[in-house]
Amino acid sequence: MITAQDLIEKVQSYNPQSDADLIARAYAFGAAAHKGQTRKSGEPYFTHPVAVAMLLTEVKLDDASIVTALLHDTIEDTKATYQQVAEQFSPEIAQLVDGVTKLTNLELSSVETEQAENFRKLLMAMSKDLRVLLVKLADRLHNMRTLRAMPKEKQRKKARETIEIYAPLAGRMGMQYIRDELEDLCFAVLNPEARNSIMRRFINLSKENDQLIPHIIEDIQVALEGVGVKARVTGREKRPYSIWRKMEEKKEPFNRLSDIYAFRIITDNVQDTYIALGAVHQRWAAVPERFKDYISQPKSNGYRSIHTTVSGRNAKRVEIQIRTKEMHQVAESGVAAHWSYRDGVRVENPFAVDPFRWLRSLTERFEASDNPDDFLEHVKLEMFQDQVFCFTPKGEVIKLPRGASPIDFAYAIHTRIGDSCVGAKVNGQRVPLWTKLRNGQSVEIIRAEGQRPQASWEDMVVTGRAKSAIRRYLRDEHREAHIRLGREIARVALGRVGKKPTDKALETAAKLFNLNSGDALLAEIGAAEISGGDLVKTLYPELVKSGNSTGPASDEDRVIGLAPNQSATPAPCCSPVPGERIVGIAMPGRGVLIHAIDCPILEQFEGNDRRWVDLRWTPASSQACNETKIEVAMANDAGVLGRICTLIGEHHANIVNIEFTNRKPDFYRIRLDIMVRDIEHLTNVETALNADSDVAEVVRFRDTSLCEFGPKK
């Protein structure tokens, strides 16, 4: 195990002014607090905090961060208190330890909404002091390195969480070495077969291209000496996960990838980076469209480097990155460079960015988000690494993720410009709004004051800012219609169990659904995000379980042909209604299921006559409401859904539930559960819907998979 002295010597190697006594006391405090505790692997638990502290020395962090790493689990997992840490060390360290504890307590759940809400809190917590995040990332890296002692399912859950949240966050914070290792560790857990396959190919490639990397390094050094540039040159094979991601993105096999090898040229100054670039391009042919100058156009996290791909020795394509020593420090350490020490003094790196700038803009932009799932999606989109740089007509640079469209560009300038966008010109030529922008293009947005965001735009944009603005506008535009529709669905659903949608009931249900008001709940129901059945189950679960419903008539009133003590219910696969020819199928333990005579599932019961029951509707059956399902294909235009619901209501049929089964830029397909008297009533509703010019198709919904029990012979 790493001793206190080992850790102190490591810290003092880059910070001779370090407080050795402080680190020693923290080491002793943590060791005593965790005494007797073990990890899943059987090792003493304190080996973990010490390993986390050693990871932070690699980026030369300050004493407070190192001590926080040693103590980061004491408040959570031992009898130590916040007050004790503050008194024995300092209020600053106590606050940092408490911050890490809060992040740990917000470990992201597999339930998506909880994950989203917790991640929002995570961002808010770490925005107070970003060193909390640095400790947490080191904590997660060591946990992933030692994951094998955990159960397989726990490993997969941690790996999914890490690759979706922590690895991109490390990358967005500029800590690329942590991102790379986290992704590769997750890859080994989530897709071991793919990783092993790539590793085998690497081994074969190494045999075929023995000494290729040293030879190319030597070639580069000779080229640099020829132009008088002193630089450090390194080379490596890319990590398996990086290779696999490129294979997935480009849909190409391993042997077709062009940049499996990567080389770095680290120069003394910026001028030498461009001289080195010229020497490389003179020595080898540059690959078209594979050049990026992140020195003149840095990434948002401060990353600066020149990237070029050339056809090197033996025609092997290799990627070469060229940057200065200071740029390399930022590229490797990211925001940690802000706290780094050298020779006992905080390093003033001219290329390090304000570590709070991105985090502050992110939290401000989405802190008012209504939907936690939207928030999480937007955060993930904001953490895209690959960017394109486009220009406004005035020459201002706009940074966007790869795959961005002119609509993304418009919203990046201002929400008002995005909302009123009607077209775009790229390099002076009119282009469709779904065009993917490329580096260096000049983009001009064409506006019209009467224009408003369209639902189809959501499929054309990739930035969180654009998606958020479009969804917010569409949600506000349709909110009133959704509330009216939701109120009607709630009235019908609650009416079936003898209840009413009072304001008090709706407010209670809203709290149970984590919504802020009864109107917000009705809007969700009207938008088919929450069903009427979900509302009833949430408010009155005991009525659902007991079957206390005031809906359709009893079995004896509905059908003729049942044996004494036999019960019957409509089959969910075909949802028959009075007026249709019907037959019953006896289901052990479930009574009799009533099927329409043309239901496809009946074929499964041919040759099993004992299960068939001859049934017919009673005259009383059409006096009550009967539930059935229809599917409607309609144009994706404003007001169409509201018009459909109005038509159904005008024909005195009630909508119980709406589900969107397919959303496309030009049309929606929705499934409606409606209450009708009989087949004639249903036909009248279908005819009215078919007559609407924005309705493409109306069909009865049939799905045999909804019947759980197949025939038993």
DSSP 567-618: -EEE-TTT---TTS-EEEEEETTTEEEEEETT-GGGGGGTT-GGGEE--EE-
| 412 contact partners, CB below 8 Å, separation of at least 6 | 398, 399, 400, 463, 465, 466
Residues noted as catalytic: 76-77
Q: Which residue has the higher pLDDT, 343 or 436?
A: 436
Residues 6+ apart with CB under 8 A from 581: 596, 597
Burial class of residue 368 in the structure, from the number of CB atoms within 10 Å of its CB (0-12 exposed, 13-18 middle, 19+ buried): exposed
The pLDDT tens digits for 605-639 are 887 778 888 888 877 666 667 889 999 998 887 77
Distances (CA, A) of 624 to 423, 433, 551: 54, 51, 8
Contacts of 247 (CB under 8 A, 6+ apart): 253, 254, 257
Task: Of 212-226, 423-437, 518-532, give the lowest mean pLDDT range.
Answer: 518-532
pLDDT of 550 > 60? The answer is no
Q: Average pLDDT of 386-404?
A: 78
Give the range among 248-262, 321-335, 477-491, 569-583 with minimum mean pLDDT. 248-262
Nearest C-alpha neighbor of 375 from the set 170, 165, 127, 117: 117
* Whole-angstrom distance, CA of residue 274 vs CA of residue 271: 6
> Given this model, what pLDDT does residue 51 score?
94
Predicted confidence (pLDDT) per residue in 486-506, tens digit: 887 888 778 878 888 888 889
From 3.40.50.2300, 3.30.420.40, 1.10.3210.10, 3.30.70.370, which CATH number describes the 4-190 domain? 1.10.3210.10
**Out of 3-7, 49-53, 297-301, least confident range:** 297-301
Grouping H, G, I as helix, E, B as strand and the rest as coil, residue 104 is: helix
DSSP 107: P
- What residues form DSSP beta bridges with 673? 629, 657
Work out whether strand 317-324 and strand 261-267 pair parallel, antiparallel, or are unpaired: parallel
pLDDT tens-digit map of 98-139: 888 766 665 544 344 455 555 555 666 566 677 888 888 899
CATH architecture under which domain 367-470 falls:
Roll (3.10)
Residues in CB range of 422: below 8 A, 6 or more apart: 446, 447, 448, 451
CATH code, 202-346: 3.30.460.10
Identical fold for domains 367-470 and 570-583+598-713, yes or no, is: no
Confidence band (pLDDT; 50, 70, 90) for 417? very high
The pLDDT score that the predictor gives to residue 249 is: 65
Residues 6 or more apart whose Cβ sits within 8 Å of residue 496 = 536, 549, 550, 551
The answer, yes or no, to whether residue 549 has pLDDT greater than 50, is: no
Domain boundaries, the chain: 4-190, 202-346, 367-470, 471-546, 570-583+598-713
Topology of the domain covering 570-583+598-713: Alpha-Beta Plaits (3.30.70)
Per-residue pLDDT, 532: 80
Rounded Cα distance between 538 and 621, Å, is 30
The rounded distance, in Å, linking the Cα atoms of 117 and 82 is 26
Residues 6+ apart with CB under 8 A from 583: 594, 595, 597, 602, 612, 613, 614, 615
